[in-house]
Structure 1
Amino acid sequence: MNDHQDDLYPRVRAVLTATGFEEIATGDEGVHLIHHARGVMVGWMPTQLSPAPVQADLPGLRHAFTLALAATLRAAGLTVETHDDQWLLVLDTHHTPD
């Protein structure tokens, strides 16, 4: 991991926290951040939705939430790739492939 990646993770966390998408501390639900070789992966595990959506609605809800996360991160000047409506990759623009 390089210095740029060390700076990126807290920056992503700060942007999400400031806009109400706080990372979940424990458990399976909520927003998750994971270190990645090219940056930071951001994902969302929905639970405790009220009223509970039917299973057919979950892909649409996940898509909308992912769009909102991506828009928030891009508005903060970060470069974001979408991966299957499940995860976002916030890119370390200083990353150089091996």
Structure 2
Amino acid sequence: MNDPQDDLFLRVRAVLTAAGFEEIATGAEGVHLIHRARGVMVGWMPTRISPAPRRRGPQRTRPIQADLPGLRHAFTLALAATLRAAGLTVEAHDDQWLLVLDTHHTPG
């Protein structure tokens, strides 16, 4: 018999992969999935953001911030929209993590 938590984890992974948000290995930048009692946590861990190419003007001399709040928010919204469009129930946690709820979970 399949474990509903494992089924949910595999479903979340498949939905995100189909949308182009592939899970990244532990310790690397990118989308992360973590098993939790209530479901699956989904988050994005950027380590480096490349500057957009500029057509003209002075070169940027200061480094780009590695974690732009607006970019993180937009990425999290895109992840949530993708998961919700697949029929999954999603809770936002601090604009950094999403919890995809296991609708079969009963608190112990």
Counterpart of 1:28? 28
Asked if the contact 2:49–2:64 (Cα under 8 Å) also holds between the matched residues in 1, the reply is no
The within-5 A match list for 1:60-79 is 60-79=70-89
Asked if the contact 2:5–2:102 (Cα under 8 Å) also holds between the matched residues in 1, the reply is yes
- Residue ranges of structure 2 left out of the alignment (5+ in a row): 53-62
Counterpart of 2:11? 11
TM-score normalised by length of structure 1: 0.90
Deviates more, 1:68-77 or 1:21-30: 21-30
Larger radius of gyration: 2
- Residue ranges of structure 1 left out of the alignment (5+ in a row): none
Counterpart of 1:48? 48
Asked if the contact 2:32–2:44 (Cα under 8 Å) also holds between the matched residues in 1, the reply is yes
State how far apart, in whole Å, the 2-side matches of 1:46 and 1:90 are.
Answer: 21
Instruction: Tell me the matched-pair count.
Output: 97
What RMSD over aligned residues (CA atoms) do the two structures have, in Å? 2.0
Asked if the contact 2:51–2:64 (Cα under 8 Å) also holds between the matched residues in 1, the reply is no
State how far apart, in whole Å, the 2-side matches of 1:73 and 1:3 are.
Answer: 20
Please list every run of at least 4 consecutive aligned residues from structure 1 whose deviation after the TM superposition is greater than 6 angstroms.
none
The within-5 A match list for 1:79-90 is 79-90=89-100
Which residue identity is paired with 1:68? A
